[in-house]
Every structure is written in structure tokens, then in C-alpha cells.
Amino acid sequence: MDQETILTYFLQKLKDVNNKKESENVDTKVLKIDQVHPDTGIIKEAAEVIKSGGTVVFPTETVYGLGASAFSGKACRKIFEAKERPPDNPLIVHISDLSELEKVAVDVPEDLIPVLEKIWPGPITILFRKSRNVPDEVTAGLETVAVRMPANPVALMLIKESGVPIAAPSANIATRPSIVDSSEALSELTGRVDMILDAGKTFFGIESTIIDVRKRPPELLRPGAFDVEDLEQYFGAILIGDTARGLKEAELAITPGMKYRHYSPEKRMYVVSDRSLFMKIMESDAALQLTAICSKELASQISGRCISLGSEKDLYEIASNLFQSFRKLDATGKKIGIIQDFPEKGIGIAIMNRIRKASAGNIEAIENLESILSQNDLKNHN
């Protein structure tokens, strides 16, 4: 290598390092806040950040959101930068009052209003035709906008005080598990966002349900905290396709988020749905090389290291511990996790969607698992 090549190489390296710093050099203000009785002074301070085009990480009843003014394309671009989110994955617009819906959506059917009054605020996101007020950054250029009213006092007061709807995806860095506790927001997003509202753990710990009610029958785009069976009381039978179950990737991206690797731990994770196989694996020598993620009932039957998701009898508890279990798996010295499956009823549909996506299709591939476990690097790994 001649001198000039070496110099160019190092200059490029220096540039890369500086560029990386640029995306992480935001001064992040962290403010503690009570989720049930938020301090109005703190809400005002956070609202100032939104009004001036900044980004705020805030709790909702589902997971933490990374928000900016839904009317500012420039502010919303900061969300994509902070999260390293692909620009073709749209955001959800959060409103605090039904009267705000007409500012972001058009052609809202009149008979939908009484239903919205019943289901909002709550963990259910609905697709509408977008209004021209909503910039392309929010909808990734789509003609539709996803809207919801969160059931969390901090989120509602922040939107109201900001005077604009807030566009927000989940606050995690793209591909990582969603953030359900402020400690994860602090370690993942400090230096990337203007403000973090530190409010402890969120209520559901799993994202909102997304439906397209413009279709007949209405279609579930993403299962989430709002039970689909409960939604059917309002909308009649809802179509739940393979993609919503996490079985198939979306080819035509109506919910563009569906096509990305999602919610993933860094470690490889396998879904083992056969209970006796799960126990056999945990009783074999292989158990030394992996971590099990399972209900406390299953954990009580196996020896070896387990991350407990809580009781199988309460799928809401399982859902609320799921993303943290993926993060705990990453913190172990083991390279592999095995996770049990859960019945696809109620919120169980959302649980299985996240598990399948996080394990990127490694479903009950015991032959695969055996060959991986026999690889030398894993054998020597503690």
C-alpha cells in the first residue's frame, strides 16, 4: 500500500467514526415522571421539546414510544435516525382526543365514531386514508395513516400539551426487542434523542394491535395488546392471515414493518413447541450450552437455566415479560435460547407473532439445533 492509499484509508476511517458520533451526540435530558399522576411541569418541558421539533421517549400503555411532531417531516426524520429505522417503515400517529382525528385522517366513516369512542384510549391502531397535513416521512409515502389514542396519562398529557399529534414507533433501535422499561430506554437511547421520560415499566409490555377496517372483512395487520376476539364485538369477524401470525413475511408490504427482522435478541432463538422435546433438550448435555425461556410451570419441571415468563395461566403476564426475556437471553453467556410456544388465543396471537419473528423462523428445528450444538465453537462456549 502506498502512502496516499494509507492516508485515504485512515481519513475514511476517521470520517466513519465521526459520522457514527454524529448520530449519537444528542444531549439527552432524562426526567423521572409518575405514570399515573404525571407532574404537569415535566409534561410542559417535554411538550416544549416536541413543539421545537425535537424527539421525546415516552411511556404508553403498550411499550415506550419515540415521538416527534406528526406534522413535521423534519422532526420525524430524527426518529428514523435515532432508531436506525428503514425509511419505508411508517410510524403510528398518536392523538389525545377524537377531535384531532380529522386533522390526520380523511374519509372516516361516521358509524366508526361511536366505536372509536368505546375502544379509545386503548392499545388499538386503526388505518385511515391520510390527510395532507401528514408528511410522507410519517406514512413512508403511503396513502394511509395508522392512528391510535394511547391509554397512558403521560402520553395523553404530552400530546395535549404539545398541541400536535405525536408520531411514534416503538422506542427501540431497529431490529431490537421493544423497550418496556425506562432502564432499557436509558441504555439504548441516551445520546440519540432529546429527552427520555423515565416512568418505569409499561403496562402491557407488547405493542398495539393494528387493523384495517376499510376492508371487508376487516384485516388484522399486527396482533397486539388489544385482544382480537374483543375487537370482533365491534367489527364482526376479523381476518387473521398467516403474516399476522408471524408465519409468513409480507410480500406486498401493507404493513411494511412486517417484512423486517424484528424484536430479535442477538442470540439465536429456537421455538420448541413439543413439551417433551423441550424437557429432553434441557435434560441433555446440550442444556449446558443454552438458556430456556418458558413459563414458570414449565421451568419448575426442568433443571438448568431458565428465564421465566410468568404463569401460563395469565397470557398477559407472559406478554409483559416477553421482550425483557429476549434482552435477558442476550445478557447470558450462552449463544442459543429455546423458547416454548403458547396457545394462539386472545393475546396469545400477539405473543406467538413476536416469538416467531424474534426467532426468525427457527421453529422446532431440532435437527438444526442438534447440528448447531455440535459445532465446536458452541461446545467450548460457556
The residues binding ligand AMP (CB under 6 A) are: 89-92, 127, 139, 142, 144-146, 169-170, 207, 210, 221-222, 254-257
* Of positions 170, 289, 320, 324, contacts Mg ion by CB under 5 A: 170
Q: Do the bridges between strand 268-271 and strand 336-339 make them parallel or antiparallel, or are there none, so unpaired?
A: parallel
Query: From Mg ion, ligand AMP, none, which one binds at residue 42 (CB under 5 to 8 Å depending on kind)?
Result: none
DSSP per residue, 80-126: HHHHT--TTSPPEEE-SSGGGHHHHEE---GGGHHHHHHH-SSSEEE
Closer residue to Mg ion (CB): 28 or 208: 208
Query: From Mg ion, ligand AMP, none, which one binds at residue 145 (CB under 5 to 8 Å depending on kind)?
Result: ligand AMP
- Quick count: other Cβ atoms within 10 Å of Cβ 152? 23
Query: From ligand AMP, Mg ion, none, which one binds at residue 293 (CB under 5 to 8 Å depending on kind)?
Result: none
By rule CB under 5 A, what count of residues binds Mg ion?
1
DSSP per residue, 254-271: SSGGGGS--S--SSEEEE
Closer residue to ligand AMP (CB): 28 or 89: 89
Q: Cα–Cα distances in Å, from 82 out to 77, 194, 221, 272, 337? A: 9, 10, 25, 35, 29
What x-and-dash track marks residues 36-75 binding Mg ion by CB under 5 A? ----------------------------------------
Least Cβ distance, residue 180 to ligand AMP (angstroms): 13
Closer residue to Mg ion (CB): 170 or 209: 170
Closer residue to Mg ion (CB): 188 or 286: 188
Query: Could you say which DSSP state residue 286 is in?
Result: G
N- to C-terminal Cα separation, the chain: 41
d(CA 270, CA 372) in angstroms, rounded, equals: 11
Contact between 202 and Mg ion by CB under 5 A: the answer reads no
Q: Is 162 buried (19+), middle (13-18) or exposed (0-12) by CB count in 10 A?
A: buried
Closer residue to ligand AMP (CB): 68 or 373: 68
Grid cell in block for residue 301: 419441571
- Among the candidate windows 90-98, 168-176, 214-222, 238-246, which touches Mg ion by CB under 5 A? 168-176
- Residue nearest ligand AMP by beta-carbon distance: 257
Q: Do the bridges between strand 105-106 and strand 124-130 make them parallel or antiparallel, or are there none, so unpaired?
A: antiparallel
Closer residue to ligand AMP (CB): 26 or 126: 126
Q: Cα–Cα distances in Å, from 327 out to 9, 164, 172, 177, 337? A: 36, 33, 12, 7, 11
Least Cβ distance, residue 206 to Mg ion (angstroms): 11
Least Cβ distance, residue 331 to ligand AMP (angstroms): 23
Instruction: Map residue 350 onto helix, strand or coil.
Output: helix
User: Which residues would be at the binding site for Mg ion (CB under 5 A)?
Assistant: 170
